Chain A
Amino acid sequence: MLKRIWAIFTRDVKVSMRTFISLYILVVPLILAFAINLFTPGINDTTINLALLEADNPEQIAYFKSFAKVELFKDVESVQKRVEARDNIVGILPEGDKHYIMIQGNEPEGVIDYAKLINSLNELDIQVEDTNAEIIEFGKTVPPLKRTLVNGVLLLISILGGMLIAFNIVEEKADRTIRSINVTPTTRNTFILGKSLLGLVLPIFGTIATVFICGFGDVNLLQILLIVSAASLLSLLVGFIQGLSSDDIISAVSIIKLLFLPLFASVLAIELLSAKWQKFFYWSPFYWAYKGNNAVLSQTSTWQQILSYTGIVIVLCGIVYLIAAPRIRKGLE
């Protein structure tokens, strides 16, 4: 049986390499990981953007630069033009011995509040040297946004595995090789296991690569692989169902696209919504996988926590399997 599973797996690898699809799915997480490394420092450094006059007191300009990103302009009209641009930038302009705040009118409240705060501190002439605070740091270097993005990529990788299976099965159907399997000694379960292997191997590779490239090499790799593998089960299931019930690639793509919905919904729910809204997302395996990955990436996870999250993901996948099993069986006949 193992030999047959291996044979199906190696055949899938060969076919996928021929169409470069496996290569793409291997490479995509790496590119995303490098992209995350490239632009998260810039995002993390962001507070607000200010437009100031070049002619303003150099000390004032330096003061504002200590708290925000500053752009300098020749005159008030240029500042106004810049403030009216589509992004969120606030003008702070001198008038008499004070500065007033110029806004476009559609900036988020937080941006205006921050501008008001630093202008108030400026008016009160409070300098960084006047500090009455001591700052002690824990020495963590990975910002939460990077953790969120890496976590998102890990879940995306799990979906890519399912996508690969769906594409492979649609291709098999087009080549009429699925029916031929029925007249060989390969059992249905062996075929399913053999087909699933590629969809599991790629996420495992992608996860390890992403975790190391993004600087999370010291996390508990076993815990993260456990969660990503459990989340991949759902993608594999959907990949199977879709591959078997689709006659063409378009249908396969569109169903896989549906998987992105619970993924994005889960990430947004955890990151943006308050506790009372969380229960609306308990049905999503990605919700639990994201929570688990988050705990591992922030190095606050315990085995009990990870095993319970993985258990929930597996139970939810089991429910999907029970619903989908007749369709998979029928598709293989």
Chain B
Amino acid sequence: MKLWHSFIKELKLAFRGFYIYIEIFMAVLLLVILLFAVPEKFVSKQSEYIHLNLPQMVKESFLQRMEDNDLDGKSELIEIKNDGEVIKVQFFESDTRKIYLVDNKEDVIKLADKKQQLGAIIKLDDSYNLAYEYYLQGYESQRLKNLFSIIHVENSDILQTTLDEQDVRPLSTSYEQLTDRQNILPSVLTFNGSLLGLFLIAGYIFLDKKEGVIKAYAVSAASVWQYLLSKVGVLMLTGIISSLIVVLPIMGLQPNYWALILFLLTTVFLSSTLGLLVASFYEDFLQSFGSIFLILMAMVIPNIAYFIPGWNPFWVKILPSYPMLEGFKEILLKNGDITYVLWLSFGFLAAGIILFLISNKRYKKTLTV
């Protein structure tokens, strides 16, 4: 009961300040950006500068093939600027590539170098077979270079047939992918929802310390843990409100909202208790700022792994924001793995309780008169 009263009091105080409104404003702003400025699907096309050093007939066959793959079936003559020079090129655009057909080899080399894109010269070797010269930047991985070196060894029709015949066996067909716009949400929920407690709990505690609220607690009937938990409660509620503002209009009724709320509660609990513990080692907010900021920066790293599917080193997976991102993704997916989310929630809650107990012990010593 004391905890409830304490929570209600903290909530009233929070609504009297600016902070909650700023969080809500931020959530609305994020929503507007996601809805109106971020497309459902990102289209990222690789640019290639190509010169065909081929006999006319072979060249025409190449051009025909490129036109067949072009979105509107025909090329355009355009001018591109490079290093103060204007170069006329024939432009083709397919689903995945933008091809600039250049009249001479020197321009291909200059363009590939300055624009930092792929350059290629297609020619005939001594035995009149097709041969390729690729101009790469130098930072490409050896694995990618290996692929470049053999990708055109076989006739492209044969390669395409083999590709089409590949036997791909999914272990489950019930997975539905998120759109590119929806795929950003786990990142938003993690950093704007779950981890918001990390910084703010410290701010709240030091503010109360400065204003003497803590000393007042020492002579009241409420205990320190109730005070700390009521602060965490305010952050949990803020996290839920700001997250729902973004998720509801974008995802509609697809996510499991019970799981979402549970996951938000446990993740905000963990981040707030971590913030509490870190703050307990410092005298004021500014002193604690550096440590909390560094923790937050470390939490950003799994975000890179989230958007680069092939990069998932072990050390990234042990950072709490990694399972947070994965957990939110499962919640948002139509047939997401809710058991995984429940296990994660249990883990975050358990870790949060441990951190809370340690923090409570420390604050009992430092917060009283």
- Report which A residues bind B (CB closer than 8 A): 19-21, 23-24, 27-28, 31-32, 35, 39, 42-49, 66-69, 80, 83-84, 86-88, 95, 98, 100-108, 110-112, 116-121, 123-124, 126-128, 130-144, 167, 171, 174, 246, 248-251, 253-255, 257-258, 261, 265, 268-269, 272-274, 277, 280-281, 298, 300
Contact = CB atoms under 8 A, between A and B. Distances in A.
Contacts of A98: 167
Contact of A131 (B17, B149, B305, B313): B149
Nearest to A90: B168
Interface string B36-70: 11110011110000000000000000000000000
Contacts of A254: 18-19, 22-23, 26, 200
8 closest cross-chain pairs (CB), A and B: A24-B290, A105-B170, A87-B312, A250-B203, A106-B175, A19-B286, A137-B138, A133-B132
Contacts, number: 253
B313 A42 contact: yes
Given A86-B326, A117-B163, A174-B210, A27 B290 contact: yes
B116 interface: yes
A250 B17 contact: yes
A258 B162 CA distance: 51
A105 B206 contact: no
Contacts of B204: 250
B173 A105 contact: yes
Given A140-B138, A281-B37, A251 B290 contact: no
B102 to A, nearest CB: 16
30 contacts: A28-B294, A45-B141, A69-B310, A100-B168, A103-B170, A104-B172, A104-B175, A105-B170, A105-B171, A106-B172, A108-B177, A110-B309, A111-B309, A111-B310, A112-B168, A116-B168, A120-B162, A124-B159, A132-B131, A132-B132, A133-B149, A133-B152, A134-B131, A137-B137, A138-B137, A248-B207, A258-B29, A265-B37, A274-B42, A274-B44
A133 B131 contact: yes
Residue of B138, B204, B289 with most chain A CB atoms under a 10 A cut-off? B289
B129 A132 contact: yes
B134 A134 contact: yes
B287 A20 contact: yes
Contact of B310 (A46, A246, A248, A250): A46
Residue of A131, A133, A174 with most chain B CB atoms under a 10 A cut-off? A133
B136 interface: yes
Give the interface size class of chain B.
35 or more
Contacts of A281: 37
Contact of A47 (B116, B310, B326): B310
A14 B251 CA distance: 50
B332 to A, nearest CB: 12
Contact of A46 (B135, B285, B290, B311): B311
B365 interface: no
B248 to A, nearest CB: 19
Contacts of A167: 286, 289
Contacts of B44: 272, 274
Contacts of B151: 117, 121, 133
A120 B285 CA distance: 59
A105 B175 contact: yes
Contacts of B23: 254
A138 B22 contact: no
Given A44-B141, A254-B26, 6 more contacts: A107-B309, A118-B147, A135-B134, A136-B136, A251-B19, A281-B37
Contact of A255 (B22, B38, B133): B22
Nearest to B114: A300
Contact of B143 (A20, A42, A45): A45
Interface string B103-130: 0000000001111100000000100011
A272 to B, nearest CB: 5
Residue of A23, A39, A83, A254 with most chain B CB atoms under a 10 A cut-off? A254
Nearest to B29: A261
B153 A132 contact: yes
Contact of A261 (B26, B36, B116, B174): B26
B161 to A, nearest CB: 9
B153 A131 contact: yes
B4 interface: no
A92 B89 CA distance: 41
B285 A249 contact: yes
Contacts of B115: 300
Contacts of A80: 171
B208 to A, nearest CB: 10
A108 B136 contact: no
Interface in B299-326: 301, 304-305, 308-313, 317, 326
B311 A273 contact: no
B206 A272 contact: no
B258 interface: no
Contacts of A49: 310, 312
Contacts of A269: 37
Contacts of A251: 17-19, 22
Contacts of A47: 141, 143-144, 147, 310
Nearest to A108: B309
Nearest to B309: A88
Interface in B279-295: 284-287, 289-290, 293-294
A48 B173 CA distance: 21
